[in-house]
């Protein structure tokens, strides 16, 4: 299914996870198009991308939990739509032609590039009357608070849930079809549609892409589209690359890395359309 040498797959996964972590878009958005450019059929590249997404989500989870920035209730609510979309996308992805999948991937890579450039984020403000509030999510609601500094607490309340659910459905379909995490849709949707602080949105999005990936992997394994040996190489390289990226991320300028990632994604999408 995947004829590339194992060492090359480990190296590719390492580099894409490293760049993806530094750029804040995740490794799969770069990994899947590169695999397709190297001759892997999109139907088999997508499951490898999803394995990388699942490992990346798992690797980031302990740190986000420790920081208290994940809103589980928000993530679980939105994930109903995203998972339904992912199952549908993964099921349809096995039926459509490689050319259509390649072009879909090109469009998705271009959208991710645009998202990377436009990333601004709404800033929520700390409120003095909440300074004794315990940071985290508030039981029974899609509201919560997070700690901006030792004495500053930022409260927030998610809005426009139905609109956000529609955006999550779209991100799920794209994730299942193209084998990417979809965080580049989920994080801006939570931040700009629901007015959830970008830090909470990013952490919650990382939690949810792991669930989307699990649902897609169930479909892919049923379809026999997972190359386990290649998948192991992707996991090994991805976990190592993600760890190195997380360790050195703070010493690099995130905007510069994001711009580099954007340029690479634009080049890749153009090549995919031309060779598609």
Partner 1 sequence: MSDDGSGGAPHRDEISEVEAEADAQLPGRDHGLARPADLDRSSETVPRDDTSGDVIGVGPAPNHRRGRQRFLIVYLRVTLIGAFLIGVAELLLPTETQDEAGVVMVAVLIAAPLGRIVWLLVRWLRIGDWRFALVGAVLLGVVATGLIVR
| Least distance (Å) between residue 162 CB and partner 1 | 6
- Token pair, residue 14, equals 């390492």
- Ramachandran category for residue 113: left, alpha or beta (phi over 0 → left; psi -120 to 50 → alpha): alpha
How far apart, in whole angstroms, are the C-alpha atoms of residue 220 and residue 225?
Answer: 5
| Least distance (Å) between residue 245 CB and partner 1 | 15
Site residues (CB under 8 A) for partner 1, limited to 120-139 = 122-125, 127-136, 138-139
- Token pair, residue 76, equals 């679980």
Number of chain residues interacting with partner 1 (CB under 8 A): 82
Say whether residue 247 binds partner 1 (CB under 8 A). no
Determine the interface stretch with partner 1 among 28-36, 112-120, 234-242, 251-259 (rule: CB under 8 A). 234-242
DSSP 8-class letter at 121: -
Among 48, 101, 106, 158, binds partner 1 (CB under 8 A): 158
79-107 burial code (b ≥16 CB/10 A, e <16): bebbbbbbbbbbbebeeeeeeebbbbbbe
| Least distance (Å) between residue 37 CB and partner 1 | 24
Among 39, 97, 120, 229, binds partner 1 (CB under 8 A): 229
| Least distance (Å) between residue 155 CB and partner 1 | 6
Kindly state the helix (H) or strand (E) to which residue 186 belongs, with its residue range. helix 183-188
- Strand arrangement of the beta sheet that strand 152-157 belongs to: 136-137, 143-149, 152-157
How far apart, in whole angstroms, are the C-alpha atoms of residue 90 and residue 218?
Answer: 9
- Cβ closer to partner 1: 98 or 223? 223
How far apart, in whole angstroms, are the C-alpha atoms of residue 201 and residue 95?
Answer: 33
Write phi, then psi, for 147 (nearest 5 degrees). Answer: -90, 120
Binding flags for partner 1, 1-40, as an x/- string (CB under 8 A): -----x----------------------------------
Site residues (CB under 8 A) for partner 1, limited to 137-156 = 138-143, 147, 150-151, 154-156
Binding flags for partner 1, 60-79, as an x/- string (CB under 8 A): -xx--xx-x---xxx-xx-x
| Least distance (Å) between residue 86 CB and partner 1 | 8
Site residues (CB under 8 A) for partner 1, limited to 162-221 = 162, 194-195, 207, 210-211, 213-219, 221
- Cβ closer to partner 1: 217 or 261? 217
Query: Three-class SS of residue 128?
Result: helix
87 neighbors 219 (Cβ within 8 angstroms): yes
């Amino acid at each position: 299914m995947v004829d590339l040498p194992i060492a090359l797959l480990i190296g590719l996964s390492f580099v894409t996870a490293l760049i993806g972590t530094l750029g804040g878009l995740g490794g799969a958005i770069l990994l899947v198009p590169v695999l397709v450019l190297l001759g892997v059929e999109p139907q088999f590249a997508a499951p490898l991308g999803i394995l990388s997404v699942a490992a990346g989500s798992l690797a980031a989870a302990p740190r986000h939990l420790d920081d208290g920035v994940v809103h589980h209730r928000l993530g679980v609510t939105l994930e109903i739509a995203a998972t339904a979309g992912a199952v549908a996308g993964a099921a349809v992805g096995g039926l459509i032609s490689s050319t259509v999948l390649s072009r879909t991937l090109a469009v998705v890579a271009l959208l991710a590039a645009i998202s990377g450039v436009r990333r601004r984020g709404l800033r929520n403000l700390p409120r003095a009357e909440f300074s004794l509030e315990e940071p985290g999510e508030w039981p029974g609601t899609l509201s919560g608070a997070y700690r901006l500094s030792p004495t500053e607490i930022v409260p927030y309340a998610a809005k426009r849930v139905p609109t956000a659910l529609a955006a999550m459905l779209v991100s799920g379909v794209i994730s299942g079809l193209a084998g990417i995490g979809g965080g580049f849709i989920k994080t801006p949707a939570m931040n700009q549609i629901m007015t959830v602080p970008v830090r909470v949105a990013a952490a919650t999005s990382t939690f949810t892409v792991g669930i989307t990936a699990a649902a897609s992997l169930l479909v892919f394994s049923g379809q026999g589209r997972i190359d386990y040996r290649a998948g192991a190489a992707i996991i090994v390289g991805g976990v190592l690359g993600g760890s190195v990226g997380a360790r050195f991320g703070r010493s690099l300028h995130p905007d510069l890395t994001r711009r580099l990632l954007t340029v690479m994604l634009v080049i890749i999408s153009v090549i995919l359309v031309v060779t598609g």
